[in-house]
Amino acid sequence: MIRERRVNVNGRQTRCLEAGAGWPLILLHAFPLNADMWRPQLEQVPDGWRFIAPDLRGFGPDARPTPGGSAPTMDDFADDVAGLMDALEMPEATIGGLSMGGYVAFALCRRAPERFTGIILADTRPHADTPAAREARREMIALAEKEGSAAVAERMLPKLVGQTTTDSRPEVIAVIRRMIESAPVAAITGALAAMLGRPDSTPELSAIGWPALVLVGAEDEITPPAHAEGMQRALTRSRLVVIPEAGHLSSLEAPAMFSAALADFLQSHI
Ligand code: MLT
């Protein structure tokens, strides 16, 4: 059963979805979604584990605009997660993130490596943005400010999901569209600025000594399997699972296979 709770993190109310009991795995969501994207995994928590999925700053149903507030950095997102762990009296945890959630996990590896015992990196990449990617983010910021979240959903959806989902899973696309359309414009533009400014995390990879699981959808066009293979080779204690018939949002597109790979990894790591 999924539990929903509100936790005060450094003065900001943060919604968390939780399920299971045992060693904590914190799951960080993709851009521009929210903690609800982890519901399929929260429905299937392996024995001995407690999954916690927070909304990142600005996202989720509790999001309130912070007028005049400056755009967050990836380090701010990471410090929010560390603050959540403090509020939950959780000195250590396993960390996992999909895409932007992975970028936040890398920032946590830099800022608080002593607090983690394992890592799951799904459909993500350690590199900083290229100049062309930064330009595309600036265009997306302009689009969000001019036309709102629905225009962002329309622009992003074709790339966020794989061909199989495009062809045969309209219900999954509808769930993703709803989540993106509900994201406040300020959260979208803030996260875009944070992603645009994030540093290269490749040097962190060889320093990650904990067990690592790299997951990627076979049809992921944003962070394709070749990137995941390179990342996995750089991680000393890691395994790679390629999820067939899934794109960039593999946990939502092929939830059963994603959860099975996750459970298999976590059970060997407990
Ligand atoms: C995500 O899924 O979080 C985004 O595709 C990440 C990105 O735009 O780099």
- Sequence-ordered list of residues with C-beta below 8 angstroms from that of 223, at least 6 positions apart, any chain: 99, 123, 124, 125, 216, 248
In angstroms, the CA 58 to CA 190 distance is: 8
**How sure is the predictor about 68, in pLDDT bands with cuts at 50, 70 and 90?**
low
Section 72-95 average pLDDT: 97
* pLDDT over threshold 60, residue 171: yes
Q: Taking a C-beta distance cutoff of 8 angstroms, is the pair 49, 60 a contact?
A: no
Q: What is the distance between the alpha carbons of residues 244 and 253, in angstroms, rounded to a whole number? A: 10
Q: Are strands 12-20 and 49-54 parallel, antiparallel or unpaired?
A: antiparallel
> Cβ distance 77 to 104 under 8 Å?
yes
Contact 231, 257 (CB under 8 A): no
Predicted pLDDT of residue 186: 94
Whether 129 and 198 have beta carbons less than 8 Å apart is answered as yes
Mutate-to-test residue for ligand 1 from 161, 195, 227, highest number of ligand atoms within 8 A of CB: 195
How remote is the CA of residue 101 from the centroid of ligand 1, in Å?
8
pLDDT of the residue at 142: 98
pLDDT at 270: 57
Distance from C-alpha of 251 to C-alpha of 262, rounded to nearest angstrom: 10
With a Cβ cut-off of 6 Å, ligand 1 is lined by: 30-31, 99-100, 195, 222, 248
Amino acid at site 129: D
What pTM did the predictor assign? 0.97
SS3 268: helix
